[in-house]
Structure 1
Amino acid sequence: MAAVDVLNRSGEKVSEAQLPDTIFSIPVKKSVLHDVVRMQLASRRRGTAVVKGRSDIAGSTKKLYRQKGTGNARSGSIKSPLRRGGGVIFGPTQRSYAYNLPKKVRALALKMALSSKLATDSLRVIDGFGLEEIKTKAFVDVTRALGLKKVLVVTSDDDRNLFLSSRNVPGVKVIKTEGLNVYDILKYDKLLLVESSIQGIEGRLG
């Protein structure tokens, strides 16, 4: 197991935490991380772009003029895509871009993302924020004491003060252990674990 320092709100070491090698010391494969990030981003696409085809246009289906004898090209409905105000040919329709990878691949990618943060010394552990009230300044003071700017904070508790105090701070995101994902881990420069969340991560990936 890898030992990491547990810091307090002032950035001082208060103890050590043990991180299991089966989660935080996995060889990193960029291809696996790439596949999972693509899956996450595809699932976030709304897929609501849609246009009207000729069957969706309001208008008569009466033949505009006789087939022969006018000197014009033969013409049918006024809703033809060749006419102004007609339907669109092969336009986008509402769809879902989401797809799934195997559960084991997603779990492996999450372990790799955590391992990459530990390997690059981008992982910190704090014993707790202990915010007594909703105050952005108090949260910012803690991140400054730890020397963190663009950081993802992971907590196991439903700490309302922590979530509301951090929501207006740019470059910071707070999520619960259940919502930990590969994209967010890789997006932020630093990963800050509240000490109690380590056990939750072990329970999820162990």
Structure 2
Amino acid sequence: MATSAATLSFFSSSLFLSSPTAKLPPFLSLSSKSSSSKPILSVSSQLSTLPILSFTGEKVGETYLDLKSAPPETARAVVHRAIITDLQNKRRGTASTLTRSEVRGGGKKPYPQKKTGSARRGSSRTPLRPGGGVIFGPKPRDWSIKINKKEKRLAISTALSSAAENTIVVEDFGDKFEKPKTKDFIEALKRWGLDPKQKSMFLMMDVPENVDKSSRNIGGLRMLTPRTLNLFDILNCDNLVLTPDTVDYLNGRYGEEYEGETEDDEEEEGAEDQNDDGTQ
């Protein structure tokens, strides 16, 4: 695999660690192979060569993945901010408790002020009694936070660039499955050099019904489309599988030649908003 001066390694990254010598998480790595000690202060493009495999597992060619990526000095912060934004925007914020004024009852004094031998009680709704109100309890709120579109796009492209070492391209296999069968899909994974027990993410432009049904019973496998592509699944997988059409899409969407917002971008943002509203 041919890469540029600075290479982000997907499995041994220090993107989320303050010390580069600390123990690294299993799905992120950051290694710098710069020929110069001068720091990189701008967004760069990383060219990675990926093998193209046939459905039978034979190498039939090569392609390239040319994506924008943040420099090593800021990659950790960019990806961290984007993943925190995605996770926090999924919070529904519906937790609610009753204050003293909202608890039902309590209009009558529970017992006389004196001659009972007990503490004075003016109301049964007091937070000091079981069934009373809650002091400083949670109320419905909006947890969502904002992130710039260019910043989020840069975080996704940086994560995809870091996954290039463990990425393969498979020729379109949508018509290879005549009927849904998980066993056939597992055999295909083995032919492509993938372990069915590892976490694998497939990114396809369109997922045929037979492919979807054949893969959905494999626990560590995620089948995504450009509308459902998200940063968490990219970081949480061990292997990334693309199709030739997906490579062209990624180079156009996250590469240097990207010009601006398109109709596909608006559709993706609408789908993300629906996911944020419907998840907990």
**TM-score when normalising by structure 2:** 0.65
- Classify 1:100/1:148 alpha carbon distance in 2 versus 1 (closer, same or farther; 3 Å): farther
Determine the structure 2 residue equivalent to 1:128: 172
Determine the structure 2 residue equivalent to 1:109: 155
Determine the structure 2 residue equivalent to 1:186: 235
In structure 2, stretches of 5+ residues that fail to align are 1-46, 259-280
Q: 1:176, CA displacement in angstroms?
A: 0.3
Cα deviation 1:33-74 (Å, max 9, x = unaligned): 111111112122343333232233221323445667877655
How many Å separate the matches in 2 of 1:157 and 1:70? 75
Residue type of the alignment partner of 2:161: S
Greater share of helix residues, 1 or 2?
A: 1
After superposition, the CA RMSD in angstroms is: 2.3
Secondary structure (helix, strand or coil) at the match of 1:179 reads coil
The total of aligned residue pairs comes to 202
C-alpha contact (below 8 Å) 1:110/1:181 kept by paired residues = yes
Answering whether residue 52 of structure 2 is matched by residue 3 of structure 1, we say: no
Determine the structure 1 residue equivalent to 2:188: 142
How many Å separate the matches in 2 of 1:162 and 1:44? 28
Answering whether residue 108 of structure 2 is matched by residue 62 of structure 1, we say: yes
Alignment of 1:2-151 (within 5 A): 2-20=48-66, 22-23=67-68, 27-28=71-72, 29-64=75-110, 74-118=120-164, 121-129=165-173, 130-149=176-195, 150-151=199-200
**TM-score when normalising by structure 1:** 0.86
Determine the structure 2 residue equivalent to 1:166: 215
Residue type of the alignment partner of 1:152: M
- Classify 1:27/1:144 alpha carbon distance in 2 versus 1 (closer, same or farther; 3 Å): farther
How many Å separate the matches in 2 of 1:70 and 1:136? 73
Rg (Cα) greater in structure: 1
Which structure has more relative contact order (CA 8 Å, sep 6+)? It is 1
Residue type of the alignment partner of 1:3: T
Q: 1:166, CA displacement in angstroms?
A: 0.9
How many Å separate the matches in 1 of 2:234 and 2:206? 19
Secondary structure (helix, strand or coil) at the match of 2:227 reads helix
Answering whether residue 251 of structure 2 is matched by residue 202 of structure 1, we say: yes
How many Å separate the matches in 1 of 2:177 and 2:158? 31
How many Å separate the matches in 2 of 1:13 and 1:26? 31
How many Å separate the matches in 1 of 2:241 and 2:102? 52
Secondary structure (helix, strand or coil) at the match of 2:139 reads coil
